[in-house]
């Protein structure tokens, strides 16, 4: 159940960035070189890890990126800035081109927030998670810090009854249903199970993309974090919206 062509875009602050697979990206701590909502994007290449930092800038009318070597000498790093004051992409050490990590493009209509887009849908990116490429689906949300065991998966879009599992089909052997609500805009089923001597919870949300089509959002983590995961899962499922076909 892989979503369309499997590609993932980061969209926001007037840019679109398509990372090379395998990838991981997360929010960067704020600092002198990292304005609020900055991102670090890494691609695990055969020759080692390549990375860029994306720093949101002001809204600009330009769709051209200015290429400048910071420091003014051959040891400086390359910077790509949208217009004079727009979003900036800093290339990692010994990188000469952003294509080592992904594809960068101006996107004038992108709002001043980050979201993730696949070929069929866009979804919000909650705080407290990094985004990693998946083996069977385009991407996964992995918890950080106290939520390091938290995992959120998105599968789909799934079309009709043949592709979409029914609530009973979501309960695997060794799991038991602890709660469900199938009458909300994002119906869900939550199960409990034991793994490695600990109690865990899984909650499956049906996010309706369009008639007869859903994205299945699954949250998974220790039972002690069930409420936090439920809140994050609901936010993600509620944020899923269809997107126009890519050109």
Beta bridge partners of 38: none
Query: pLDDT grade, residue 3 (50/70/90)?
Result: very low
Query: pLDDT grade, residue 149 (50/70/90)?
Result: very high
pLDDT, residue 2, reads 37
For residue 157, whether the previous peptide bond is cis, meaning omega lies within 30 degrees of 0, is yes
Check residue 246 and report its DSSP letter.
P
Residue 242 has pLDDT above 90, yes or no: yes
Whole-number Å distance between alpha carbons of 8 and 154: 12
Which three-class secondary structure state does DSSP give residue 117?
strand
220 close to 140: Cβ distance less than 8 angstroms:
no
Whole-number Å distance between alpha carbons of 215 and 156: 5
Is 0.85 topped by the overall pTM?
yes
Class of domain 119-242: alpha beta
Query: pLDDT grade, residue 1 (50/70/90)?
Result: very low
High-pLDDT (> 70) share of the chain, %: 94
pLDDT, residue 76, reads 79
With 0-12 / 13-18 / 19 or more C-beta atoms within 10 angstroms meaning exposed / middle / buried, residue 211 is exposed
High-pLDDT (> 90) share of the chain, %: 74
Whole-number Å distance between alpha carbons of 103 and 17: 6
CB atoms within 10 A of CB 79: 18
Domain ranges of the chain: 9-116, 119-242
pLDDT in tens, 10-41: 999 999 999 999 999 999 876 666 778 899 99
């Amino acid at each position: 159940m892989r979503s369309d062509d499997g590609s993932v875009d980061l969209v926001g602050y007037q840019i679109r960035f398509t990372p090379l697979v395998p990838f991981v990206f997360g929010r960067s701590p704020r600092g002198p070189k990292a304005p609020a909502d900055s991102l670090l994007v890494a691609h695990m290449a055969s020759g080692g890890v390549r990375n860029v930092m994306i720093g949101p800038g002001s809204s600009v009318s330009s769709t051209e990126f200015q290429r400048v070597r910071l420091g003014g000498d051959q040891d400086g790093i390359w910077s790509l800035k949208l217009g004079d004051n727009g979003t900036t992409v800093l290339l990692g050490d010994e990188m000469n081109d952003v294509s080592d990590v992904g594809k960068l493009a101006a996107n004038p209509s992108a709002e001043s927030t980050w979201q993730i887009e696949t070929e069929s849908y866009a979804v919000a990116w909650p705080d407290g998670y990094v985004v990693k490429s998946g083996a069977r689906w385009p991407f996964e949300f992995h918890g950080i810090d106290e939520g390091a065991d938290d995992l959120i998966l998105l599968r789909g879009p799934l079309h009709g009854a043949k592709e979409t599992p029914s609530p009973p089909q979501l309960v695997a052997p060794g799991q038991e249903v602890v709660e469900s609500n199938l009458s909300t805009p994002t119906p869900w089923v939550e199960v409990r199970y034991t793994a490695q001597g600990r109690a865990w919870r899984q909650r499956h949300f049906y996010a309706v993309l369009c008639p007869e089509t859903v994205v299945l959002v699954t949250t998974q983590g220790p039972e002690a974090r069930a409420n936090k995961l439920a809140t994050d899962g609901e936010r993600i499922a509620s944020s899923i919206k269809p997107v126009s076909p890519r050109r």
